[in-house]
Amino acid sequence: MSAQDAPLRATVLGSGSWGTTFAAVMADAGCSVTVWGRDAATVEEIARDGRNTRYLPGIELPAGVTATLDARAAVADADVLAVAVPSQRAREVLAPLADALPAHAVVVSLMKGVELDTDQRMSEVVAQSLRIDASRVAVLSGPNLAREIAQRQPTATVVASTSDATAQLVARACASSYFRPYTNPDVVGVELCGAVKNVIALAVGISQGRGMGFNTMATVITRGLVEIARLGLALGADADTFPGLAGMGDLMATCASPDSRNHTLGVHIGRGMTLDEAVVATGGTAEGVKSCRSVLALATSLGVEMPITSAVVQVLHEDLPVDRLAGLLLARPHKAEGLVRTGASDG
């Protein structure tokens, strides 16, 4: 067996629904996989019973998945390290592991967000925290709702890296009969799509919680994609990324599915819950709650207008009454629709 064909050793940092699901995906792709988590009961259940009933009730994990509480041991022999921790905690989790990561290992970020205070994308946080070159980092994003994938429903995803070899290795580690990775060199575009779509899903959820229908949903999704593209183009992203799997594909899934935590939390807010109440009712991390502020800060620093994102920030963090959200979602001057790919300011 050649080194290229040898089974890969993979580690997933994060034992939530997405981290555990991606561990199962890589095991089904032929990897031996270790999941690291902080919760002792969850880790023990994964290792002993092959289940994670807290986050994936009713799902049996493949035999190739085990788990540990020891992050350094989990990382020490990994060929592929997948990071699925909350985006705002990534740096504190990763920095202590920098000297434990093998020199040949590649790292794939499953996180969706922009770091508060630094405005850094997650791939930048990963590379900086682990002290590795950007060529060893990939990001994965697409219409990838964890519950559906855990049930082995077919889907596709995008693996983006500045290094084709890194992207191909990550794609090899997760390709299976039901999970189809496509590679893409546009790390910026893929990553921004993953971060901002959560914010747009919050807006859709809030509007639906207020009783608004499919016209509003379609409008917010479509104009939300314009906001994502406007920010991405300002940062040098490829316009072709936005109508693809990582852009419109992920945006549609996250905004429409009741399995989306960001959409669900938005619905709770729209129905009158406070943010704290909605977080509890949602029962998991909705990345858009925190990343909406960092996304807006990044856009403001670049002079990019993002009215939907701004409206979400005002509702969640600045006490704007939800009844005033609708008027802010489309708060732009009247003009021709325009085409984002031209690079011109779009309405």
pLDDT classification of 189: cutoffs 50, 70, 90: very high
What is the percentage of the chain residues whose pLDDT exceeds 70? 93
Of 81, 77, 103, nearest to 93 by C-alpha is 81
Least confident segment among 5-19, 114-128, 211-225, 323-337: 323-337
Amino acid 340: pLDDT: 54
Q: Is the pLDDT of residue 336 over 70?
A: no
Query: Per DSSP, which regions of 76-154 are E strands?
Result: 80-83, 106-109, 137-141
Q: Which residues contact 232 (CB under 8 A, 6 or more apart)?
A: 188, 189, 192, 193, 241, 242
Note the pLDDT of residue 2. 47
What is the average pLDDT score of the chain? Answer: 93
12 by DSSP, 3-state: which? strand
The predicted-structure confidence for 231-240, as pLDDT tens digits, reads as follows 999 999 999 9
The pLDDT confidence band at residue 342, using thresholds 50, 70 and 90, is very low
Q: Does 283 have pLDDT greater than 60?
A: yes
Q: Is residue 258 pLDDT above 70, yes or no?
A: yes
Please report the pLDDT score of residue 345 as a whole number: 44
- β pairing state of 179-184 and 65-68: unpaired
Who has greater pLDDT, 326 or 91?
Answer: 91
Residue list, annotated binding site for sn-glycerol 3-phosphate: 112, 142, 197, 250, 260-262
| Region 80-98 average pLDDT | 97
Confidence of residue 329 (pLDDT cuts 50, 70, 90): confident
pLDDT category of residue 285 using cuts at 50, 70 and 90: confident
How many Cα atoms within 13 Å fall on the side-chain side of residue 3? Answer: 3
β-pair type (179-184, 155-160): parallel
8 Å CB contact between 27 and 89:
no
Question: Tens digits of per-residue pLDDT, 13-37?
Answer: 999 999 999 999 999 999 999 999 9
pLDDT band at 276 (very low <50, low <70, confident <90, very high): very high
Q: Model's pTM, two decimal places?
A: 0.91
List the one residue out of 134, 132, 131 whose CA is nearest residue 121: 134
Task: List the catalytic residue out of 197, 230, 263, 293.
Answer: 197
In this prediction, residue 344 carries a pLDDT of 39
Give the pLDDT band of residue 224 (cuts 50, 70, 90). very high
290 included as an active-site residue: no
166 versus 344: the higher-pLDDT residue is: 166
d(CA 34, CA 49): 14
